[in-house]
Structure 1
């Protein structure tokens, strides 16, 4: 193993870039699936009722999140036992296989029921690998951060996701400019997945050069699976509190990014191009505000930011959506989504680092990943839940109410967590 002194010459920029590169692929794959949910529904889940077809496609999107807690436990234990570097390379490998399943499998018209089954298996594999990806990246960034800059460093875990959102949306805008809508539905939607496959070798090359964190290398004891399981049970309350903290993040993120193209096209009846341009702008907005929030949380603490922006979410998300659906337009969609982006990014910039600080050092990756993965069982189904809520209530603004409920979860979890002496001092004590 490399000595600490041998690792010092690497700049912080290079270290951050290396670790978040794979996180880009994880979010890129999830994003393009949701962007092209209508086309995927047409290809793999044909039905007489368009609503049923779309709901099936979005449910398969959500099914990937069911595997996240399992991946968090199995792969998280591997990371806490064998190191941050090895775990991040393994998660990238599994993600790449899942991407290929969606990119290359023929449609239902060609191979019948086998097609949606392979797509489902690909999504489940992606979910399994993603169960530890975010936790592994966040913990790595927290452990390499200089004193007083942990929030800023951890914010780039989410920052890399926004780069994926921007890239996928820009690619979608380009496809809509050069291909007719019928071609995008029939085969053009596969292009972003194929590009994802082409990116994989480059990402492997980057991650192979990752260096183990000093904090992990200096630890004398690395727990086995049995010890990690006991610790998870002993810290079940802590993990559930962390889950409540993350619900706000996952719900708001998937609402303003992956669901926006479907919402804009199918609910507001705006053009696909308009919806993708708005999503691109949301990604840029998130990328700007996330590191700002992380850096400010290093100065004033995590709790004030978490409480302020959950309160604003509870008070404004549904009214903002009501204003949008009252007179749908590109301008209103952009305005509302950018406001929701501010709520998400400021909250998340403080939340990710708060969650790393919450977990005991010896099971930090597993604990973080479990809390995050359990939350995605709620937030990850946001596109499907939003589609269902609009269908059963007739209220096109219902997704805003769903985001408000998530904000309430975040506020309650914040109050519970920061009332605990353990949450306030656990990270530094570890």
Structure 2
């Protein structure tokens, strides 16, 4: 632990308790994931309202392409907003990211359909997704670094795991609302206007999230730093550490792909591919999110005890060799029970891997560009892997005529994570050896 982090530990986050600080800093993650899940779950309805075509496949692909386009904005948000957070502080920066995220959410909730305003409808939905993506590019990194900087000695994995754990709460709430609407409204009502209800609920809780964020205190680690680099310095340092950023991106590929496969894509996969009921798909998603919430802090805690590298390698290998066989078994005889078993298995992958990965990524990034570097690596992974998982999965199933085809994509992402873990920790060992010999 370096001097700055030692100061953070001894000075704490007074006067708030650490539990309250975790709640306040992760609150913005709720609205981010709440809205992202809703967009994926109601993709079929959104495709008919905003992207009507003669082909259901084409409409769905356009919808998922717009969903994925938001992730292409994440690297830009990571660079510019991440640099801003590294310069002005975690608290102020996270309030800005929440403001931009809320703007995109409100826009998507309120845009009239294609039948009312024509091409302006899909254009405005796209704008809303781009705003969300730009904000999310730095939101996750800012939250993860805040948690890492306030963590007590030997518990960084446990603390940073709550970044993603907070997102699982959003999935549970969104899935529960969707399940309730499915019981109370007809399919026609949900397709016409009912899908907007959860989005409006998300808009209604935004003021409460702002209240929580505004009560945040700056981390002691940031305040103890003598030099806060300007944006130009941060960009130069990011460029100079491009190998670490690319390695971090590949390390994150596994977790982003798994997450969007088992949450955002699950309802569409269950309904459109496996032909299960909407209620079954929603219930599986809700239970998977609850499982994620349990495994994430367990994974973080185990990585604190045995190290990040062994856990990352073990889970990557398991995913490589079991992802496709598990989905093949599910597609061979689709049922609620089989879908639940397979996705709970993938949930185990996600929770254990991500619990170690977030802490690992904060540790390999240079402290001066910790938020920007973390955010850029994570955003690139989400843009190139996770965010397009629904579109890639839909395309692979269509082209290969194989309902288990998303397993190939997940195995590839796990292979990327395996190679990145070996590469980053070999580089880290080499850097430590060089430092020791110099001393």
Unaligned runs of 5+ in 1: none
Distance, in Å, in 2 between the alignment partners of 1:421 and 1:334 is: 39
**Please, which of 89, 95, 106 is the counterpart of residue 101 of structure 2?**
95
Distance, in Å, in 1 between the alignment partners of 2:269 and 2:398 is: 12
Distance, in Å, in 1 between the alignment partners of 2:118 and 2:73 is: 25
Per-residue deviation at 1:422? Answer: 6.2
Distance, in Å, in 1 between the alignment partners of 2:192 and 2:62 is: 18
User: Is residue 381 of structure 1 aligned with residue 388 of structure 2?
Assistant: yes
**Please, which of 405, 424, 428 is the counterpart of residue 398 of structure 1?**
405
Distance, in Å, in 2 between the alignment partners of 1:248 and 1:394 is: 24
User: Is residue 297 of structure 1 aligned with residue 303 of structure 2?
Assistant: yes
Counterpart of 1:418 in structure 2 is 425
User: Is residue 47 of structure 1 aligned with residue 53 of structure 2?
Assistant: yes
User: Is residue 351 of structure 1 aligned with residue 354 of structure 2?
Assistant: no
Q: Say whether the 8 Å CA contact 1:358–1:423 is kept in structure 2.
A: no
Unaligned runs of 5+ in 2: 1-7
Distance, in Å, in 1 between the alignment partners of 2:115 and 2:167 is: 34
> Judging changes above 3 Å, is the alpha-carbon distance between structure 1 residues 215 and 6 closer, same or farther for their aligned structure 2 residues?
closer
Per-residue deviation at 1:9? Answer: 3.1
The runs of at least 4 consecutive aligned structure 1 residues that moved more than 6 Å come to 3-6
Per-residue deviation at 1:146? Answer: 0.5
Q: Taking structure 2 as the reference length, what is the TM-score of the superposition? A: 0.95
Distance, in Å, in 1 between the alignment partners of 2:210 and 2:423 is: 40
> Judging changes above 3 Å, is the alpha-carbon distance between structure 1 residues 423 and 221 closer, same or farther for their aligned structure 2 residues?
farther
Counterpart of 1:308 in structure 2 is 314
Distance, in Å, in 2 between the alignment partners of 1:38 and 1:57 is: 8
Q: What do residues 329-355 of structure 1 show as CA deviations (whole Å, max 9, x unaligned)?
A: 111111111011101111111000000
Q: What do residues 290-325 of structure 1 show as CA deviations (whole Å, max 9, x unaligned)?
A: 000101111110001100000000010100000000
Distance, in Å, in 2 between the alignment partners of 1:423 and 1:287 is: 35
Q: What do residues 131-154 of structure 1 show as CA deviations (whole Å, max 9, x unaligned)?
A: 000000000000000111100000
> Judging changes above 3 Å, is the alpha-carbon distance between structure 1 residues 244 and 6 closer, same or farther for their aligned structure 2 residues?
closer
Q: Taking structure 1 as the reference length, what is the TM-score of the superposition? A: 0.97
Counterpart of 1:287 in structure 2 is 293
Distance, in Å, in 2 between the alignment partners of 1:243 and 1:191 is: 35
Q: What do residues 76-132 of structure 1 show as CA deviations (whole Å, max 9, x unaligned)?
A: 010000000001000000000000111001000000000000000000000000000
CA RMSD of aligned residues (A): 1.6
Q: Say whether the 8 Å CA contact 2:262–2:343 is kept in structure 1.
A: yes
Q: Say whether the 8 Å CA contact 1:37–1:262 is kept in structure 2.
A: yes
1:31-430 matches, within 5 Å, as 31-378=37-384, 379-421=386-428
Distance, in Å, in 2 between the alignment partners of 1:57 and 1:6 is: 45
Per-residue deviation at 1:10? Answer: 1.6
Distance, in Å, in 2 between the alignment partners of 1:326 and 1:109 is: 40
> Judging changes above 3 Å, is the alpha-carbon distance between structure 1 residues 407 and 6 closer, same or farther for their aligned structure 2 residues?
closer
Q: Say whether the 8 Å CA contact 1:418–1:424 is kept in structure 2.
A: no
Per-residue deviation at 1:377? Answer: 1.3
Distance, in Å, in 2 between the alignment partners of 1:401 and 1:168 is: 28
Per-residue deviation at 1:359? Answer: 0.3
Distance, in Å, in 2 between the alignment partners of 1:307 and 1:182 is: 47
SS in 1 for 2:112: coil
Q: Say whether the 8 Å CA contact 1:357–1:423 is kept in structure 2.
A: no
Q: Say whether the 8 Å CA contact 1:417–1:423 is kept in structure 2.
A: no
Distance, in Å, in 2 between the alignment partners of 1:237 and 1:150 is: 24
Distance, in Å, in 1 between the alignment partners of 2:381 and 2:210 is: 28
SS in 2 for 1:372: helix
